[in-house]
Amino acid sequence: MRSIRFTFPSLMLLLTIPAVFAQQGRLLVTQKGDTSLGIIDPAAGKVIASVKEGGVTGHEVIASPDGRLAYVPIYGNSGVGKPGTDGQNLVVIDIASQKIVGNLDFGHGVRPHMPAFGPKDGLLYVSTELDQSISIIDPKTLKIVGAIPTGQPQSHMFVLSHDGRRAYTANVGPGTVSVLDIPARKTLAIVPISGDTQRISISNDDRWVFTADQTKPQLAVIDTATNQVKSWVPLDGFGYGSSPTPDGRWLLIAIPDKDKVDVIDLKTMQPAPSIAVCADPQETLVRPDGKTAYVSCARSDQVAEIDLATWKVTRLIATGKSTDGLAWAEMR
């Protein structure tokens, strides 16, 4: 058999290909109308695969810390607090092979919604809405190893502190935020917001938690030292998904009824100029390198890509129907 020999430059090129792919990563997007997970090549700006989730839709997604697997809780065909099917499972998708490789059955309808990995313990946390809890899952065995009660109905979305000690849930219908002690697995406080609140995020220094009032166009800023609303930031419309930039300077928040993204200066807690995006923006995600942000737009079936150096939309990426949850998979 003829041997294959590489010159030094060609060998170096082959060795750098995996590294380039790892740095590039993949953008994951839930396509609710297609009951599938879209896998986007961010360099090409297109969906390279749509993986069916099993007939019922997931709203949110998270990638494993090594960027190889996607975890999608299967919520059901309803909206929060509305009649419909009650999802009871979570699927695991291999991003490279684009196939479902695992499934967790909660045993009964819980409407599992938001997934997040513990920053210190490596466990998977999932909001189980109908059980008024966050379930704790061992991602290696796909076994439930515990739960934290939220003390409130409709605990739809949540965020974990960067030290892994606290969780904060946005309880939609009650219009509250539950403060959870993760090691002790108990509720510490219930913070009143309004009659209706949606989505939630946390500052990089864990000092502030943000959730959007759905009765007035304003953003609640919760002081995590006191577990009370410290201030309100006016918005151009009713806010939805928000995320801070890695440098901690800005917060991007989707404004669905205005087809734009508001930008908040976290030094002054005042609005900066907003960015027009696609129709019905739902969720924002800032890439780990801090150069680019993505915004899912449900009504236009697109993801808007924003250059954070110029604060301009650089392109619109066509996706499946009713685009919503976003996650970044960084291959390691």
Instruction: Return per-residue pLDDT of the chain as tens, 332 residues.
Output: 333 333 333 334 334 333 343 447 999 999 999 999 999 999 999 999 999 998 888 999 999 999 999 999 999 998 998 999 999 999 999 999 999 999 999 999 999 999 999 999 999 999 999 999 999 999 999 999 999 999 999 999 999 999 999 999 999 999 999 999 999 999 999 999 999 999 999 999 999 999 999 999 999 999 999 999 999 999 999 999 999 999 999 999 999 999 999 999 999 999 999 999 999 999 999 999 999 999 999 999 999 999 999 999 999 999 999 999 999 999 87
pTM above 0.85, yes or no: yes
If phi > 0 it is left, if psi is from -120 to 50 it is alpha, else beta; for residue 201 that is beta
Of residues 212, 205, 213, 202, the one with CA closest to residue 180? 202
pLDDT for res 56: 87
Identity of the amino acid at 8: F
Structure tokens at 95: 């991003």
Q: Which domains does the chain carry?
A: 27-329 (2.130.10.10)
